[in-house]
Amino acid sequence: MDTTAFLDFLKNDPEYKNQIVYTQYIPARDARPGWLDRPLNPVFQEQLDKLDITTLYSHQADAINAVRGGKNVMVATPSASGKTLCYNIPVLEAMLENTSTRALYIFPTKALAQDQLRSLTELAGKTINLPWECATYDGDTLSEDRAGIRRRARIVLTNPDMVHVGILPNHKAWSTFLRRLKYVVVDEAHVYRGVFGSHVANILRRLRRICDVYGSKPQFILCSATIANPGEHAERISGLPFQVIEADGAPYGGKAFVFWNPPVIDEARSVRRSANSEATYLFTELIRRNIRTLTFAPTRKLTELIYVYSRDQLGHPLGDRIMSYRAGYLAADRRNIERQLFNGELLGAVATNALELGIDIGDLDATVITGYPGSIASTWQQAGRSGRRGEKSLSFLVAQNNPLDQYFMNNPDFFFGKAFENALINWENSNILNPHLLCAAWEKPLDEADARYFGDALLNAVAELEAEGRLRQVGKRWHIAPQLSHPAHDVNIRSASGHDYQILDASRGYELLETVEEDRAFWQVHPGAIYLHQGDSYFVKELDLEKHIAVVEPAAVPYYTQTMELTDLKVLQRIAEKQINGVRVCLGVVDVSNQVDGYRKKKHFTDEVLGEELLDLPPQRFITQAVWFDLPQPAVNMVERGKLDFHGGLHAAEHAAIAILPLFAMCDRNDIGGVSTPLHADTGKAQIFIYDGYPGGIGIAEKGYQIIEELWAATLKAIEECPCRDGCPACIQSPKCGNNNEPLDKKAAVILLRGLIG
């Protein structure tokens, strides 16, 4: 596409208010070819020639050479660099040379597995017999087909959920396949971080353990978007050593990457126009010019809002050629949207990060990213969805009015010059490890030799489970307690919570609309909430906590809802402590209690608060990790002499630090919580706490402890650079604050942070 022409059009539009604050032009580059150590199998080479694959990129050749050499390989290159050939070529070649070879492909979603089956089928041609020897195996697979797939399939494409609940607990039925398993492919490995990644790390250890029972030791081939620690991440996910390949040899068509900051509409309060409105404007203008575009939104709710705004502004017929796409939709609806995007029926879509992954949805020219997605790696992954065929493309990062987004708008060099973040997992977290040990014991009794898979944490975890009566020792092995049946069904690997809530539409005979995770239910489907589904608003009439059901009905209202919450925190254990500039910084274990106690009704487009309602929901408690620190006494004295609000300064510094921490940890702001108080009961001092928002912790607070000085400096910079006088959403106000952002004192926060950095 002609990116310059479109940007010139925007600048000449009467609606343009100098929103473009920075444009990074990423130049095109030619392919860098690579060479194999030995030629491909002639039959397979003939098939590649038919597909016009005559040259391999350097990273593809390096990966194939390493796999042929028997090494576990991690390929970490950008979007659209052709990573699938890095594993498909050596796997298919091995199958031509040895008909008993088996491979297991693991993708994070069913949609991606289905998409890759199409690619694999095209690549294989007639070199392997289809369909039975290459098949997807997931929750959508017909029961009458499953036995045939287990018996005859040579390549099985699945997801971690099915490995966890379908394959490993029934490994005897898979014995022939597992005995011959030579390759395990784990695609989109950067997705396996946080709670999900910690679960997957345990699943892969269980898989290796069961393969060992059948005498196989498969090679692992991992593919990932660019992250800072590909080798470390691959090893922590699987427990094996890896060769890392990260020098991208693919051609690139070039990109204009635009930082777009919504204009200020209230100078005194530094209030900006809604990022949702700005994203809608860009999306609709691109669609009007027949530019195929994907717009990303950070939440399901905003995905639906931007879709509704865009559909209404485009009208008929263009409004009929866009759709929303996100998790929670029924599988048939998602497949239909993917098909329409691929074949060009749809010009664009508004999506959550569910479309951040490499599902082939055809050629895209532009991407609009509504708000920083939480990591630099995810930002580039989303931007990389356009220009996937080597043509010049356009990407917009539309800033939200929060400290992190505004930090990037004021410091674009930090974004374009900063290394990618580390992908963090904590698979040893007892909240995650212990349930998987029960699953492992169901699959085969545990013994001390299993430390080769589960490490030093094994014996302590087994002792805990034995004391709880969930494991029992017989001789030198631990068996699952007789009363426990099929433990895998009780482990939700997508979250730290248990069962999903079903959303039922009362207007259609209580038909299932979609599902929502248990740990999100109080925030998304509380009584009185407005829930959005495919652009339609639904009013939540009832939330049944016992049956895990939310009953909704259609509602045409001019507002959406946003929860308010209260948080309490108790210190249970101090793990580490250090002194910085005379200030004590601690890392430890805390008990957090969160309570959703009300919600606000906020008007569409303007975000005006129309009213507040109270809720009576039970608190949610969990034990996690936190970093906390004292405040320097000279700075405290200065705040008091200036007659500023000390509590307001603590509160403001806490909000801003939570918002800035994702600069350093690969996480989302919603993965982190915080508490600030002038006098904490457990420490006897003024304190700021920042904690992991998941039971047991996933390493975010630990990362904050390690880089605390950098965090203080970046937080101070974000507050000082904000032009507002008393504080605003771009620096110290938080949309999640249960205290309605009171008290807050920007000047006091600056004094305290200056004191912290000395």
Least reliable range by pLDDT among 81-95, 402-416, 539-553: 402-416
Cα–Cα dist 269/273, whole Å: 12
Query: Can you give the pLDDT at residue 497?
Result: 56
- As given in the structure block, the two tokens for residue 597 are 């106690």
Whether the Cβ atoms of residue 375 and residue 236 lie closer than 8 Å to each other: no
Question: Is the predicted pLDDT of residue 360 greater than 70, yes or no?
Answer: no
SS3 label, residue 721: helix
Q: CA 176 → CA 162, 165, 171, 204, distances in Å?
A: 18, 19, 9, 19
Is the domain covering 33-245 a CATH 3.40.50.150 domain? no
Query: Can you give the pLDDT at residue 426?
Result: 85
Query: Can you give the pLDDT at residue 129?
Result: 61
Query: Can you give the pLDDT at residue 358?
Result: 61
| Contacts with 443 (C-beta within 8 Å, 6 or more apart), sequence order | 168, 169, 171, 206, 209, 210
Confidence label for 565 from pLDDT (cuts 50, 70 and 90): confident
> SS3 breakdown of the chain: % helix, strand, coil, rounded to 5?
40, 25, 35
| pLDDT tens column, 592-603 | 998 998 998 988
Cα–Cα dist 197/188, whole Å: 11
Whether the Cβ atoms of residue 309 and residue 281 lie closer than 8 Å to each other: no
CATH of segment(s) 3-27+252-417: 3.40.50.300
Query: Can you give the pLDDT at residue 357?
Result: 67
Cα–Cα dist 205/193, whole Å: 16
Query: Can you give the pLDDT at residue 667?
Result: 73
Query: Can you give the pLDDT at residue 585?
Result: 98
Same fold, 33-245 and 430-488: no
Question: Is the predicted pLDDT of residue 449 greater than 90, yes or no?
Answer: yes
Query: Can you give the pLDDT at residue 388?
Result: 65
Least reliable range by pLDDT among 56-60, 539-543, 593-597, 734-738: 734-738
Cβ atoms within 10 Å of 3's Cβ, excluding its own: 22
Per-residue pLDDT averaged across 495-519, rounded? 83
Read off φ and ψ for residue 589, nearest 5 degrees: -105, 135
Q: CA 573 → CA 300, 432, 581, 622, 676, distances in Å?
A: 36, 20, 24, 14, 18
Mean pLDDT value across the chain: 90
Question: Is the predicted pLDDT of residue 738 greater than 70, yes or no?
Answer: no
**Higher pLDDT among residues 267 and 57, named by residue:** 57
Question: Is the predicted pLDDT of residue 422 greater than 80, yes or no?
Answer: no
Least reliable range by pLDDT among 167-171, 420-424, 669-673: 420-424
| pLDDT tens column, 8-27 | 999 999 989 999 999 999 99
Query: Can you give the pLDDT at residue 132?
Result: 59
Query: Can you give the pLDDT at residue 127?
Result: 67
Whole-prediction pTM value?
Answer: 0.80
Domain boundaries, the chain: 3-27+252-417, 33-245, 430-488, 501-557, 563-756
**Higher pLDDT among residues 175 and 122, named by residue:** 175
Whether the Cβ atoms of residue 738 and residue 564 lie closer than 8 Å to each other: yes
**Higher pLDDT among residues 108 and 532, named by residue:** 108
SS3 label, residue 92: helix
Whether the Cβ atoms of residue 440 and residue 206 lie closer than 8 Å to each other: yes
Per-residue pLDDT averaged across 686-711, rounded? 92
Confidence label for 278 from pLDDT (cuts 50, 70 and 90): very high
Question: Is the predicted pLDDT of residue 696 greater than 90, yes or no?
Answer: no
Whether the Cβ atoms of residue 700 and residue 671 lie closer than 8 Å to each other: yes
Query: Can you give the pLDDT at residue 270?
Result: 72
Query: Can you give the pLDDT at residue 8?
Result: 96
**Higher pLDDT among residues 710 and 342, named by residue:** 710
Ramachandran quadrant class, 105 (left: phi over 0; alpha: psi -120 to 50; beta: rest):
beta
Question: Is the predicted pLDDT of residue 203 greater than 80, yes or no?
Answer: yes
Confidence label for 728 from pLDDT (cuts 50, 70 and 90): confident
Query: Can you give the pLDDT at residue 514?
Result: 85
Per-residue pLDDT averaged across 175-199, rounded? 93
Per-residue pLDDT averaged across 625-629, rounded? 97
Question: Is the predicted pLDDT of residue 579 greater than 90, yes or no?
Answer: yes
Per-residue pLDDT averaged across 103-128, rounded? 85
Per-residue pLDDT averaged across 320-324, rounded? 94
Question: Is the predicted pLDDT of residue 199 greater than 90, yes or no?
Answer: yes
Cα–Cα dist 329/620, whole Å: 26
Query: Can you give the pLDDT at residue 668?
Result: 72
Query: Can you give the pLDDT at residue 195?
Result: 83
Which of 616, 718, 653 shows the shortest CA–CA distance to 410? 718
CATH topology of domain 430-488: Arc Repressor Mutant, subunit A (1.10.10)
Q: How far is CA 617 from the centre of its chain?
A: 28
Q: How far is CA 201 from the centre of its chain?
A: 16
Confidence label for 642 from pLDDT (cuts 50, 70 and 90): very high
Instruction: Kindly give the residue spans of alpha helices, DSSP state H, lying in 518-677.
Output: 518-524, 633-641, 646-660
Cα–Cα dist 694/97, whole Å: 47
Whether the Cβ atoms of residue 617 and residue 714 lie closer than 8 Å to each other: no
Query: Which range has the top average pLDDT, 124-133, 543-552, 693-702?
Result: 543-552
